[in-house]
Amino acid sequence: MHDIKGVLFDLDGTLADTAPDLVQALNLSLDEAGFKVQTLETMRHAASHGSLYLVKTAIPQADERVQLDIQQALLRHYARINGDHSRLFDDLPELLTLLDSQAIPYGVVTNKPARFARPLIQKLGLTDKLKTMISGDSTCHAKPHNAPMLLAAQQIAIAPQSILYLGDAERDLVAARNASMIGGIALWGYLSPSDTPNTWPATCQFEHGAALKHFFTPSSF
């Protein structure tokens, strides 16, 4: 039986599949600059790591100034299409309903800036469900620093040691450890073939949303 009293999610690649919008914004920017567009599957693994990482993954040989210009264009396009084709990952809507039924508060801690994170949460229909929404600029530090994690714990009024934090990148699990939270790896997220999740400081791993849902089903306690 677990002793988890609160759940916090990373956003991109953990709670929501946002890669379609991010890669579309990338491709609009690449096309404008005369570069070859990328497929969603080729770029999906890069979607958790920020806009500049997306650009550098797509055009690694380009001059840094060009990469920065395309990043700015990407952000402009993303502001317009953010959330249009994003959705919660499979089984997570049911998981949130299950958490609600058990009065387990949940929220988001993301490195995504608030100007993108909050409109996305609104489009996903989660604004009134989340008990906390911490973005990359909510504190002076982003993950893997513990500041945003501890602020979220304070806002949901749960001790960090009783919170499960779910993420799909190593920095997420380092952040959980730094905040003394229980770290869980969302293996359904944007992991790349070069990632080594077994070396990340996690307590548990979940292959898919159904496994996470099963974890919180009373009969599995």
pLDDT at position 112 is: 96
100-148 pLDDT tens trace: 999 999 999 999 999 999 999 999 999 999 999 999 999 999 999 999 9
pLDDT along the chain (221 residues), means of 10: 88 98 98 97 94 97 97 98 98 97 97 97 97 97 97 98 98 98 98 96 96 85 47
Rounded Cα distance between 135 and 111, Å, is 5
Contact call for residues 45 and 117 (beta carbons, < 8 A): no
* Of 10, 17, 21, 168, catalytic: 10
Q: What is the pLDDT of residue 155?
A: 98
Token couple for 71:
């990043």
Is 10 part of the annotated catalytic residue set? yes
Write down the pLDDT at residue 221: 47
By DSSP bridging, strand 204-206 and strand 87-88 are unpaired
Q: Considering the entire predicted model, what is its pTM?
A: 0.95
CB 142 within 8 A of CB 134: no
pLDDT tens profile 193-206? 999 999 999 999 99
- 36-to-55, 59, 191 alpha-carbon distances in Å: 12, 9, 24
